[in-house]
Structure 1
Amino acid sequence: MIMDHELDVILSKMADKNRRRSSIFSLLRRKKVSRQSSDPSSFYTLDLGRKYSVDSAIQNEESDDMGFLRCNGELAGAASDTDSEGSRQGMQDSLTSADPVAKKRDVLSRIETLYVEDPDREIGVAGELVEEVAEENKSLLWFLLKQVRPGMDLSKVVLPTFILEPRSFLDKLSDNYYHADLLGQAQTYEDPYQRFKGVLRWYLSGLYRKPKGLKKPYNPVLGETFRCCWRHKEDTYTYYIAEQVSHHPPVSAFYVSNRKEGFVIEGSLLARSKFYGNSTSAILEGCARIHLLNWGESYITTAPYAHCKGIVIGTLSMELGGKVHIICQETGYQADVEFKLRSFLGGADQTNVITGRIKRGKDTVATVEGYWDGRIDIKDKKSGEETSLLDVSVLKEQRLPRYLVNVDKQQEWESQRLWLKVSEAILNEDQVVATEQKTIIEEAQRARARSLISPWSPRLFHRDSRSAPPEGIVDQGWKYNHSDTSPWQPDELIEYEDDFVIKSIKSGASLGTSGEARLRELSQRASDSDSHDELARRSKTSTRTLKQTLHSIDSTLREQSLAIDRLSKTVEMLNEGQRAAAFHPQNLARVPTASHSWDLFGGFVLAMVLQALLNWIFHQRQEKE
């Protein structure tokens, strides 16, 4: 029988392996899995010195995202041994103090050092959004129109730079959170109906910001990431993390957290566009889940589409259209809000109109109407009382300040740094340079995709289909690897972001990476005494810490199991290739050896053994409680 302290030593060793990379990928790396690479650096001017293997996982337009990707001698999705080692070590050193106040002060100091306030405060004006196309750009627009046909998806069409907004779509999605404090207010209400109205108010508050002119953000490349935060008056921060997890189809996943204020948001959206002749629509398929942590409630929301018309005839203009849903299954409340497009002969009073109703079950509780970029009123069905739900003219003065990571401290695949030269050229109105720099990035991802052969695995998100959405709602099913939807605890001091991982510091222990500090503390306690009496006297806090640690390791191994599943499929396809090569000897040079397949199989078996060990340890601890 393995003693408790021996199990804890095993856990500690496992944590060490997880810190270096992951036990599965380390095994595959030690066994020298065959690799093929082709460096496109001959025409890619950005610094390609890799710190993350996502750099090698940029898909092209011809290949499927679940195809085979590997490049530059590293497995896609596996972090390098030197991933932000300096920043991590600096954070750990700053949190070694036992003084809780000092710990919190150190984190706030780091935030102020890493982040800078976003100087862009452009929010647009109320009313119709229109733009006159310059004469020199009309020929480019006509050239674009010759490439498309009605009903065609525009995601594969190369757009001219004069219609691009100088920021990534991952950045654009963050516009919904400038009023994240409204969610903090919503979770303070005791009445579930008031909470639902608070969530609806927050949802509608994220729509009014408009770019200057009719512009479209950059299509993110596969593996591109973006992060930012908003500072609240109470010195808390709402953090936003996003990653492009798929290129064809283009899917963006995001995670927003402010657990101290009582909410977490997670979601993923598939962006596609349709061309109709004189108009086009940008459609977002997917949903977001807003978790009010103190109430155990989740609110599922969908997004409207952006409709641009007047491409060939008339004035170029943009509106929001379609019907969106806000659903809380725990309380039974649901809102259906329709964004109405202005009719051909409609006036200004028909621009940006919304109407909707709040229901509980089949009963209508209230109606909503107004303008999504102006004032929106809500009318109680029973009493007939009408009140203001939100007024953009007042709300825009209460926007939270947004903070971005200093460009000099960004990693090479973060949006601002990746698109920096394109954005600078657009802001300087130099369309020639903008087009050249944009082409460099697009050609680079096509070339890299041609040299990659192992399955793509996003760095920050994974597929999770366990939470089925209500009928009629599409869920892309991507979940943040470090998701935490537990209520804020009294011993937690502050929440912060470190290398795209959102976590918190507790007053009782210093911070470690991937649960390392908690495992080390557990191992030390177990080695002092392995008696059952000592284990029985341990506090509930220590037990909860152990469970959280095991859950963290379990989540990591689950992610690696998904990767192994993909690798297993690769093995099957390689075996088929070997059989085919028996009849075509000239192809033998491209078929991996049989030992390669057994190496992958060995890694899969090891993952299963580790998973079984964790489950056994967890049940043993529960029995001793």
Structure 2
Amino acid sequence: QLCIFVSDQFDNDDRDDEGEGESVEEHKSVIMHLLSQVRLGMDLTKVVLPTFILERRSLLEMYADFFAHPDLFVSIAEQPEPRERMVQVVKWYLSAFHAGRKGSVAKKPYNPILGEVFYCHWDMPNETAEEPPPPPVAPTEPLSDGPLPWVSPNNVSFVAEQVSHHPPISAFYAECSGKKIQFNAHIWTKSKFLGMSIGVHNIGQGCVSCLEHDEHYILTFPNGYGRSILTVPWVELGGECSIVCSKSGYSANIVFHTKPFYGGKKHRITADIFTPNDKKSFCAIEGEWNGVMYFVWGWVPGKWATNTLTPGLCLPQPFTRMWRDVTLNLKLKDIDMATEAKHYLEEKQRGEARERKENERQWETRLFHEDGECWVYDEPLLKRIAQPRP
């Protein structure tokens, strides 16, 4: 097993996008040169993108944004009936995407290095303390036996690992042991050049497990698009997604609508939730995934506004910081030094891959294992409940 890297982290306030709208105009010649080398439909996996468009955080950290509202995630397990639990899964899912956009200008997160891991947790609103969390050193008597043993069982813990380089697969896992709920997912990203846009196809799935009720909700993810790459880039989501619980029979269809070329609104979403064996939905939803969504449950209308939700404070664990030099130099707008630091990490990864090939050694993951077409966390809450510690 070679060196395991852990994502670099800076405070959320460090990642404001003040002035970042100028970067595209300043470097338009670089982008034009890049566009001259690609063609429509070309896979961008092996294309080296300019450093100045990077978001100053790893893709693994971006996936943690799915739990930016930990109270919505935890409340799934608190619902008394299968119907209410399915509605809450959909509400959490639809509220998870706006938190990933840290600013109005589209930026690309770092491609995770093989073996890179990221840990963080969220305090529940009623447990947030004024003092920072204790350092990541396992205490003599751990509060739990989960991914982060030093956090409270009523908090949400998150861990992610880059488990494959070709294809680039990220696996991530979250849990709240006190509420007996967990989430396991893997995503394989595939980027294509679409002319004046870049499309990112997200291949994979996630699973919300309510262990108290033995329910598992399988869900898929929308695709992402970077639009207007020659002016002020912006991100939109597109595609059909589903959420299915095989035990209860409840399901949901969700459509992220891309903006038409002429007219139309950005970020539109429609969704329907169905009872078992029923083709007519009992809950219809429409609106914008980063704004206000309206729903009709039976004959009762309602709404929730994601743009007024305050994300929970993500508390990353300060381990070895592999992206520190890239992030710091991007913040200082020293593009040359950021590019050099990024190039060093990429060359290190290539060298380690050559060494493994020469020695006929396979890469060994640290926290996840492959199970069919999925990647599963080694010690999920489901397994620990079934086999409690002595």
Query: If the TM-score is normalised by the length of the shorter chain, which range does it land in?
Result: 0.7 to 0.9
From 173, 176, 179, give the equivalent of 1:255: 173
The CA distance in 1 between the partners of 2:23 and 2:15, in whole Å, is 21
Assess if the C-alpha contact under 8 Å between 1:225 and 1:241 holds in 2: yes
Assess if the C-alpha contact under 8 Å between 1:357 and 1:366 holds in 2: yes
Assess if the C-alpha contact under 8 Å between 1:304 and 1:321 holds in 2: yes
Tell me, what secondary structure is at the counterpart of 1:434? helix
From 313, 325, 334, give the equivalent of 2:242: 325
Partner residue of 1:607?
A: none
Assess if the C-alpha contact under 8 Å between 1:293 and 1:487 holds in 2: no
From 356, 362, 365, give the equivalent of 1:458: 365
Partner residue of 1:54?
A: 2
Tell me, what secondary structure is at the counterpart of 2:125? coil
Max Rg structure: 1
Assess if the C-alpha contact under 8 Å between 1:266 and 1:480 holds in 2: yes
From 297, 300, 304, give the equivalent of 1:385: 300
**Cα drift, residue 122 of structure 1:** 6.4
After superposition, give the CA deviation of every residue in 1:204-242 in whole Å (9 maximum; x if it has no partner): 111112133210000011111110000113543211111
The CA distance in 2 between the partners of 1:132 and 1:281, in whole Å, is 23
Partner residue of 2:377?
A: 480
The CA distance in 2 between the partners of 1:548 and 1:261, in whole Å, is 16
Label 1:151 to 1:340 Cα distance change in 2 as closer, same or farther (>3 A). same
Task: Tell me which amino acid in the other structure corresponds to 2:364.
Answer: S
Counterparts of 1:316-355 in structure 2, within 5 Å, are 316-347=233-264, 350-355=265-270
Q: Say if 2:49 is the partner of 1:139.
A: no
The CA distance in 1 between the partners of 2:102 and 2:388, in whole Å, is 43
Task: Tell me which amino acid in the other structure corresponds to 2:336.
Answer: V
Assess if the C-alpha contact under 8 Å between 2:115 and 2:162 holds in 1: yes
Assess if the C-alpha contact under 8 Å between 1:118 and 1:402 holds in 2: no
Partner residue of 2:337?
A: 433
Tell me, what secondary structure is at the counterpart of 2:158? strand
Structure ranking higher in helix proportion: 1
**Cα drift, residue 136 of structure 1:** 3.3
Q: Say if 2:215 is the partner of 1:297.
A: yes
Tell me, what secondary structure is at the counterpart of 1:54? coil
Task: Tell me which amino acid in the other structure corresponds to 1:423.
Answer: T
The CA distance in 1 between the partners of 2:10 and 2:330, in whole Å, is 22
Assess if the C-alpha contact under 8 Å between 1:259 and 1:293 holds in 2: no
Tell me, what secondary structure is at the counterpart of 1:338? strand
The CA distance in 2 between the partners of 1:304 and 1:263, in whole Å, is 23
Task: Tell me which amino acid in the other structure corresponds to 2:173.
Answer: Y
- The unaligned stretches of length 5 or more in structure 2 are 128-153
From 214, 217, 222, give the equivalent of 2:109: 217
Q: Tell me the TM-score normalised to structure 1 length.
A: 0.54
Counterparts of 1:152-551 in structure 2, within 5 Å, are 152-209=42-99, 210-212=101-103, 213-235=105-127, 236-312=154-230, 315-347=232-264, 350-360=265-275, 361=277, 362-380=279-297, 383-388=298-303, 390-396=304-310, 399-406=311-318, 410-411=319-320, 417-452=321-356, 453-465=360-372, 476-485=373-382, 548=388
Tell me, what secondary structure is at the counterpart of 1:270? strand
The CA distance in 1 between the partners of 2:16 and 2:124, in whole Å, is 19
Task: Tell me which amino acid in the other structure corresponds to 2:308.
Answer: V
Tell me, what secondary structure is at the counterpart of 2:102? coil
Label 1:123 to 1:164 Cα distance change in 2 as closer, same or farther (>3 A). closer
Does 1 or 2 have the higher relative contact order (CA < 8 Å, sep 6+)? 1
Tell me, what secondary structure is at the counterpart of 2:62? helix
Assess if the C-alpha contact under 8 Å between 2:98 and 2:307 holds in 1: no
**Cα drift, residue 184 of structure 1:** 2.1
Task: Using the aligned pairs only, state the percent identity.
Answer: 35
Assess if the C-alpha contact under 8 Å between 2:38 and 2:193 holds in 1: yes
**Cα drift, residue 342 of structure 1:** 1.1
The CA distance in 2 between the partners of 1:155 and 1:211, in whole Å, is 24
Task: Tell me which amino acid in the other structure corresponds to 1:316.
Answer: P
Label 1:445 to 1:308 Cα distance change in 2 as closer, same or farther (>3 A). same
**Cα drift, residue 336 of structure 1:** 0.8
The CA distance in 1 between the partners of 2:288 and 2:25, in whole Å, is 33
The CA distance in 1 between the partners of 2:37 and 2:78, in whole Å, is 53
Tell me, what secondary structure is at the counterpart of 2:309? helix
Task: Tell me which amino acid in the other structure corresponds to 2:313.
Answer: P
**Cα drift, residue 356 of structure 1:** 1.6
Tell me, what secondary structure is at the counterpart of 1:331? coil
Tell me, what secondary structure is at the counterpart of 1:485? helix
Tell me, what secondary structure is at the counterpart of 1:435? helix
Q: Tell me the TM-score normalised to structure 2 length.
A: 0.84
Assess if the C-alpha contact under 8 Å between 1:359 and 1:366 holds in 2: yes
**Cα drift, residue 458 of structure 1:** 0.5
**Cα drift, residue 119 of structure 1:** 4.0
- The unaligned stretches of length 5 or more in structure 1 are 1-52, 59-115, 125-129, 412-416, 466-475, 489-543, 551-625
Tell me, what secondary structure is at the counterpart of 2:244? strand
Assess if the C-alpha contact under 8 Å between 2:24 and 2:232 holds in 1: no
Counterparts of 1:21-40 in structure 2, within 5 Å, are none
